[in-house]
Amino acid sequence: MAGAIAPEAAQHLRAALDEVLHSSPEVPATALAAFGRLVDVLEANADALVFPADATLSTQQAAALLGVSRMTVVRLIDRGELTADGGVVHRRISVSELARYQAENSRRRRSAIAELADDIDENTPPDEVIDTR
């Protein structure tokens, strides 16, 4: 799969980072490592997005990132699963809140799959219906 940047561009960026590392001792190694990781992610993932830490998104933008409808995002906010700023009409969701929700949602899904897998063993008939709710 192609990344957000071409391998040649990634190689060029890595070379520039190495040059900065050798010519600017005032740049912390942690910052250079973060930039290196960013280049790795952009090279490997075509869907990679980079946001400022304080960025906020509309419900429509959040829905697009989550792969759900805008109304689903509104319902998540109304149920308290997502925190948003603003009024009832113009709600804004911080990028960090969206990342928190995605991580929590992934954890819940993995947990549910593991629980379901624990319910199945060699004695489970293949045609047995397993109630998941």
pLDDT in tens, 31-89: 888 888 888 888 888 877 888 878 999 999 999 999 999 999 999 999 999 999 987 77
For residue 82, the model assigns a pLDDT of 95
**132 falls within a domain:** no
Same-domain status, 40 and 87: no
For residue 121, the model assigns a pLDDT of 75
* Cα(80)–Cα(25) distance, integer angstroms: 46
Q: How many domains does the chain have?
A: 2
Same-domain status, 112 and 69: yes
**88 falls within a domain:** yes
**51 falls within a domain:** no
Model confidence, pTM: 0.64
Q: Please give the structure tokens belonging to residue 47.
A: 């869907």
Same-domain status, 34 and 71: no
Same-domain status, 74 and 115: yes
Same-domain status, 38 and 71: no
**128 falls within a domain:** no
Question: What is the residue range of 28's domain?
Answer: 7-44
**77 falls within a domain:** yes
Same-domain status, 72 and 112: yes
The confidence band for 22, taking pLDDT boundaries of 50, 70 and 90, is confident
The confidence band for 103, taking pLDDT boundaries of 50, 70 and 90, is very high
* Cα(24)–Cα(96) distance, integer angstroms: 31
Same-domain status, 60 and 80: yes
**85 falls within a domain:** yes
Q: What is the DSSP string of the chain?
A: ---SS-HHHHHHHHHHHHHHHHH-TTS-HHHHHHHHHHHHHHHH-TT-----TT-EEEHHHHHHHHTS-HHHHHHHHHTTSS--BS-SSS-EEEHHHHHHHHHHHHHHHHHHHHHHHHH--TTS-TT------
Same-domain status, 68 and 113: yes
